[in-house]
């Protein structure tokens, strides 16, 4: 499983998984955009480059997802494919998507921000998988 959405009274919880830290970030990105819209309808036509850095891995994770929210609202581009490189708490990401089109895309939730509440990134040694849980304010 790449990600799952869990319930929270006023907001939405996102749990992402990944075999590597990079995959964790990519799957979380997909999860975030799937809260916004039906990403099966978003064609990965255009490529965009984004970079963020953080104080540690957790900080980087929140900053990256918040960067994606900002990117969507300002560029009005929906993305469905992600490829990230992480080195020393800095991230360079390529995201693939297309401009929002009223006729083809439905926005299901406005996403305000990713919060730090109940947030953690864990590595499950037994199953060799990274897991992150965040609450997203919608």
- We find the least distance from the C-beta atom of residue 61 to other proteins, in angstroms, to be 13
Considering only CA atoms, which of 32, 50, 52, 51 is closest in space to residue 42? 32
Q: How far apart are CA 15 and CA 2, in angstroms?
A: 9
| Shortest CB 21 distance to other proteins, Å | 20
- Count CA atoms within 13 Å of residue 68 on its CB side: 35
Which CB, 48 or 110, lies closer to other proteins?
110
Tell me how far, at minimum, the Cβ of 30 lies from other proteins, in Å: 18
The position carrying tokens 């590595």 is 123
How many amino acids of this chain bind other proteins (CB under 8 A)?
34
The single-letter DSSP state of residue 118 is T
**What is the x/- site pattern for other proteins, positions 15-54, by CB under 8 A?**
----------------------------------------
In angstroms, rounded to a whole number, what is the distance separating the alpha carbons of residues 97 and 79? 4
Q: Which is nearer to other proteins, 70 or 123 (CB)?
A: 70
CA 80/CA 38 separation, integer angstroms: 9
10 binds other proteins (CB under 8 A): yes
Q: Could you give the 3-state DSSP secondary structure of residue 28?
A: helix
User: 47 — phi, psi (to 5°)?
Assistant: -110, 135
Q: Using CB under 8 A, which residues numbered 56 to 115 contact other proteins?
A: 59, 63, 66, 69-70, 73-74, 76, 100, 102, 105-110, 112-113, 115
* Contact set with other proteins (CB under 8 A): 5, 7-12, 55, 59, 63, 66, 69-70, 73-74, 76, 100, 102, 105-110, 112-113, 115-119, 135, 137-138
């Amino acid at each position: 499983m790449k990600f799952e959405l869990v319930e929270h009274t006023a907001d939405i919880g996102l749990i992402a998984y990944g075999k590597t830290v990079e995959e964790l970030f990519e799957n979380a990105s997909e999860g975030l955009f799937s809260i916004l819209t039906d990403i099966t309808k978003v064609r990965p036509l255009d490529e965009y480059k984004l970079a963020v850095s953080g104080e540690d891995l957790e900080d980087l994770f929140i900053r990256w997802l918040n960067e994606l929210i900002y990117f969507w609202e300002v560029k009005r581009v929906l993305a469905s494919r992600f490829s990230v490189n992480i080195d020393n708490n800095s991230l360079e990401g390529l995201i693939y998507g297309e401009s929002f089109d009223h006729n083809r895309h439905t926005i299901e939730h406005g996403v305000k921000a990713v919060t730090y509440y109940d947030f953690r990134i864990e590595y499950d040694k037994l199953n060799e998988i990274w897991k992150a849980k965040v609450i997203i304010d919608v």
